[in-house]
Amino acid sequence: MRQSLIKATLLNKAVLLFGLIMLLNIGDSIAQKGKSFTGLLEYKISSRDTALRNILPDNSMYIYTNDTITRMENFTDQLGMQVTIKHMEKNKSYLLLNTVAGKFAIQTDLSAQDTSKYKNKYTFRKKLFKRKFLGMKANRIMASHPDLEEPIEFLYFKKISGKYNSTFEDFPGLPVRYSVVTADGVIDYELVKINPYTPNRDLFGVPSDFERVTFDEFLSRMIESKNGGEIIPDE
């Protein structure tokens, strides 16, 4: 019984982690247009429902890129610091986690994943005219989703490739103001800083003190850690 509860708890957390990877990479199969970019993209994350902001406080997401690899960083109270390193050309990624059981780099071969069930349900309709955003011209697009009462206006930079933030399929550029429908409600993302520069190459490597494991191996190691180093069979 104890073993079943441990597995259920870990599985719930693991699904959240895996969802993070898929959210970042869901649009990888689509050819992205626009100019290349190297540097930092910083997004503010907030709940659209103000009543939930005490439970889901504002957060930040940082995306570093050298145009071939992206490194995404964010922090949540539930899961702590999360770092995802994605090689866009090799279509592979690592989720770096520092846990009580050790430091792990959970590897995912995105080309081998069946992403059909993760494909988003958004539909888009472009709008005329543009808005000024961070001193640049941003294109407008209306996004619809079955769980939204009405369409939401998204903004994007057409001149920068959307591959650095591939949250949506068939997106025509880098999304800079957008919303994501989740189990916790609608979460708003807004680009607050864009800093072109050449990041340190060490940002895009897996640290030597992190053990590379598959998702299943990570789950087993966490269960073993919860049991004090011993796997206890179900009763």
Q: pLDDT truncated to tens, each residue of the chain (235 aa)?
A: 444 444 444 445 544 444 444 444 444 433 345 688 999 999 999 988 877 777 777 889 999 999 999 999 987 666 677 899 999 888 889 999 888 888 999 998 766 554 444 456 889 999 999 999 999 999 999 999 999 989 999 999 999 999 999 888 778 999 999 999 988 789 999 999 999 999 999 999 999 999 999 989 988 888 887 765 444 444 4
The span from the CA of 64 to the CA of 62, in Å, is: 7
Question: Could you give the residue ranges of the DSSP H alpha helices within the chain?
Answer: 2-25, 215-226
Q: What is the pLDDT of residue 8?
A: 44
Could you tell me which CATH class the domain 2-226 is placed in?
mainly beta
Q: What is the pLDDT of residue 34?
A: 66
Q: What is the pLDDT of residue 33?
A: 58
Assess contact for 197 and 39: CB atoms under 8 A: yes
Give the phi and the psi of residue 226 in degrees, each rounded to 5.
-65, -25
Domain ranges of the chain: 2-226
Assess contact for 105 and 77: CB atoms under 8 A: no
For 11, residues 6+ apart whose C-beta sits below 8 A from its C-beta are 219
